[in-house]
Amino acid sequence: DAKTTQPPSMDCAEGRAANLPCNHSTISGNEYVYWYRQIHSQGPQYIIHGLKNNETNEMASLIITEDRKSSTLILPHATLRDTAVYYCIAAAGGTSYGKLTFGQGTILTVHP
Amino acid sequence: NAGVTQTPKFQVLKTGQSMTLQCAQDMNHNSMYWYRQDPGMGLRLIYYSASEGTTDKGEVPNGYNVSRLNKREFSLRLESAAPSQTSVYFCASSELGRGNTEAFFGQGTRLTVV
């Protein structure tokens, strides 16, 4: 699985968009980009994933660059409950088995 | 629908004792995982099982053994616990290799080895 690099911490004001970057310059063609978050030592929670195209769901949007070497997770209107550690993971999908390897993640702090 | 259930939630062991952490999922997933998370650190993969009957080492397998008992259950055994194994252990399941769907995590087992 490709290695991912994230900033160790970020701040965001409540109600504003939180944009969390992730570099995955060695990602291979069959690897998806997954985002998870972990709130206060609970089990990680899935947010979103994508391969090439931008994706949006009820929680967030995922923007993947055309060369697929980086991506950005966007929380459009951050709330205090979005304070968590956010993990970006590159893992194989499709017909290939892909294990999830977590890095250090980004600690996002949303403040009033 | 319980998802991923881990037992026990808390455990204190003495150095040298053995124990088995249990994990069960009711989502008919093929893939299951065991992770550990030390304070202030990310999750590290201990072992994983791509499908029933197969297991493979992750990043930090030393001191652990696993058993994929059936499709639902994946247990983690500490044969001789050491203080360095004090951690929070998470089990997860997914169909990551098919359909590219999400992984589901249990709530964790908080293990202290004294």
Residue among B31, B42, B104 minimizing CB distance to A104: B42
**Per-residue pLDDT at A78:** 96
Dihedral-angle region of residue B46 (phi above 0 means left; psi in -120 to 50 means alpha; beta otherwise): alpha
Say yes or no to pLDDT of B97 above 60. no
| C-alpha closest to that of A41 among B43, B32, B3 | B43
Write out pLDDT tens, residues B24-50. Answer: 999 998 889 999 999 888 899 999 898
Say yes or no to pLDDT of B102 above 90. no
Q: Residues 1..40 of B with a Cβ closer than 8 Å to A: which?
A: 4, 31, 33, 35, 37
- Tell me which chain B residue has its CA closest to the CA of residue A47: B102
- B42 contacts in chain A (CB < 8 Å): 85, 87, 102-105
Q: Is any Cβ of chain B less than 8 angstroms from the Cβ of A96?
A: yes
Write out pLDDT tens, residues A16-72. Answer: 999 999 999 999 888 889 999 999 889 999 999 998 989 999 999 999 999 999 999
| C-alpha closest to that of B46 among B63, B30, B29, B31 | B63
Residue among B45, B59, B97 minimizing CB distance to A97: B97
Asked whether the beta carbons of B36 and B88 are under 8 A apart, the reply is yes
Write out pLDDT tens, residues A71-98. Answer: 999 999 999 999 999 999 988 765 445 5
**Per-residue pLDDT at B74:** 97
